[in-house]
Amino acid sequence: MVSGKDESVEKLHFEFPGQYAPGHFTPVLVGVVGSGNLEVMLEPHQGSTCTIDITTSAGGFGPIWEAVVHDFQARHRLAGIAVSINDMGATPAVVSLRLDQAAAALPLGLQSNFGAPT
């Protein structure tokens, strides 16, 4: 985890090895930036990793973010994807829901791998 902080936002960066790469796809955007909510964007990314960049208005929750995104990646094992999250204080349950919604919008060939044992 890499963390950067200014007076109004905290920025976190995570990178995970992945297994399932969807190849080229149209970027996926779910959610909305608003109080208690967040938006998640998935974009194609060169390489075999899944990068997750978070900008949040709620500072000091790095370990919780790390647990939520680690759980997401353990379930989906994505590769070649850049995830961008813009958060306005969403709960971990909402974060997980939005990440799963975004993953479900990826090309169908990749979705068949979701939920496979890790």
Tens-place pLDDT, residues 31-77: 999 888 999 999 999 999 999 999 999 999 999 999 999 999 999 99
In the predicted model, what is the mean pLDDT of the chain? 89
What is the per-residue pLDDT for 118?
Answer: 42
How many structural domains compose the chain?
1
Is the pLDDT confidence value at 5 over 60? no
Three-point CA angle 54, 113, 39, nearest 5°: 25
Residue type, 68: V
Q: Domain range spanning residue 96?
A: 28-49+92-110
User: Measured between alpha carbons, how far is 54 from 11 in angstroms, rounded to an integer?
Assistant: 5
Instruction: State the burial class of residue 98 (Cβ atoms within 10 Å of its Cβ: 0-12, 13-18, 19+).
Output: buried
pTM (two decimals): 0.85
User: Measured between alpha carbons, how far is 5 from 79 in angstroms, rounded to an integer?
Assistant: 27
How many angstroms from the chain centroid is the CA of residue 34? 17
Q: Is 3 part of any domain?
A: no
Q: Is 61 part of any domain?
A: no
Q: Which position has the higher pLDDT, 9 or 111? A: 9
